[in-house]
Amino acid sequence: MGQAGGTRDGASSPGAGRVRRFRTYGEVDHGTGSALLEQVIEQRARLARRLAGVGATVAVASGKGGVGKSLVTANLAAALASRGQRVGAVDADLNGPSLARMLAADTAPLEDRETGVVPSPAVGGVRVISMELLQEREDAPLRWRDPGSDTFLWQSSMEATVLREFLADVDWGGADVLLIDVPPGTDKITRLLELVPDLSAMLLVTTPAEITRAVVARSLRLVREAGVSPLALVANMTGYACPSCNRRHRLFPGDGARELARATGCPIWAEIPFDPRLGEATERGRPLVLDRPDAPAAAAFAGLAGRIEALLDARRAAAAPAGRAVQ
């Protein structure tokens, strides 16, 4: 939900040729007689309390579809879990969810306790919440109940509400790392930043393709202007890794990922080669990093997991009382 209706005192009428300025929730007087503002404040507070118990909240986004965000999220989650981290994964793609399948999450009905909804246990000890786990049938399309008009606005509001509930009403139980798989579109990135303005980090998945570079560049600027730090690139499909000899071959004529890094100063935290085994393993719900850690793609994910662990260690050190060592 974005802005409350009404104008500031003295605002001109629409016919006066001036733009009408709407008040935000933060500007609404508590004496309006409505509980709307209080509800919004409580929702934000509940979300903040929940995420305060998480070591690091990391978004995996792009702005471009088809670059492998969910595959990156699933393999990064498995890599972190294999290194002993307690990992939660949120599938924020409500209309095209796939993360639960990629991580072989238990499809039993979710349990709702006093502390919140219990996320589904998945491969390697990762815990997952996804719209996949709430649908009765595998091929059931997601349909939002709307009042019969202004469907687009209603759907946007409902999607924001569901994402907030995935984050605030699920018991993440002191997860070390909470990964959020963000669907395509800069509007989806903006929605997440409105809900979680203090993300621990954001990873933008790109490829060497020039068209991808152009789209991800817009997302990068959006996230950077929002003040998210650290912000890093994950270059996917950087070449073809032959399963027989492990040699790499180029898939794209250029190197848009490195060009984007050079032009913006945004670091690349991982370069992941294309490997048929990576997709096959992820589709089976058993990410490659768990069974073939020697594969070049798996090694790239291990390196990315190390980056996230370093971030987690830094956050723990910053939060520790002066003079007390971080375990």
pLDDT confidence of residue 157 = 78
pLDDT confidence of residue 145 = 65
pLDDT confidence of residue 38 = 76
**Phi-psi group of 285: left, alpha or beta (phi > 0 → left; psi -120 to 50 → alpha; rest → beta):** left
What CATH number is associated with residue 306?
3.40.50.300
pLDDT confidence of residue 251 = 82
Residue 128, in any domain of the structure: yes
Residue 32, in any domain of the structure: no
pLDDT confidence of residue 265 = 97
Residue 156, in any domain of the structure: yes
Instruction: Point out which residues pair with 3 in neighbouring strands.
Output: 24
The one-digit pLDDT tens for each residue of the chain (327 residues) are 343 333 333 333 334 444 434 334 444 455 555 566 677 788 888 899 999 999 999 999 999 999 999 999 999 999 999 999 999 999 999 988 999 999 999 988 899 999 999 999 999 999 999 999 988 777 777 666 666 666 666 567 788 889 999 999 999 989 999 999 999 999 999 999 999 999 999 999 999 999 999 999 999 999 999 999 999 999 999 988 777 776 777 888 889 999 999 999 999 999 999 988 998 999 999 999 999 999 999 999 999 999 999 999 999 999 877 555 555
Phi, psi of 87 (to 5 degrees): -120, 130
pLDDT confidence of residue 33 = 55
pLDDT confidence of residue 156 = 74
Contact between 124 and 78 (Cβ < 8 Å): yes
Residue 244, in any domain of the structure: yes
pTM: 0.84
Residue 20, in any domain of the structure: no
How many Å apart are CA 164 and CA 178, to the nearest integer? 14
How many structural domains does the chain have?
A: 1
Residue 140, in any domain of the structure: yes
pLDDT confidence of residue 202 = 98
Residue 134, in any domain of the structure: yes
Residue type, 284: R
Residue type, 282: T
pLDDT confidence of residue 24 = 44
Residue 29, in any domain of the structure: no
Terminal C-alpha separation, the chain? 41
pLDDT confidence of residue 97 = 93
Give buried/exposed letters for 199-221 (b at 16+ CB in 10 A, else e).
Answer: bbbbbbbbbbbeebbebbbebbe
| CA proximity to 245, closest of 282, 289, 296, 287 | 296
Domain containing residue 292:
56-319
Mutual orientation of helices 186-195 and 151-168 as an angle, nearest 10°?
A: 50
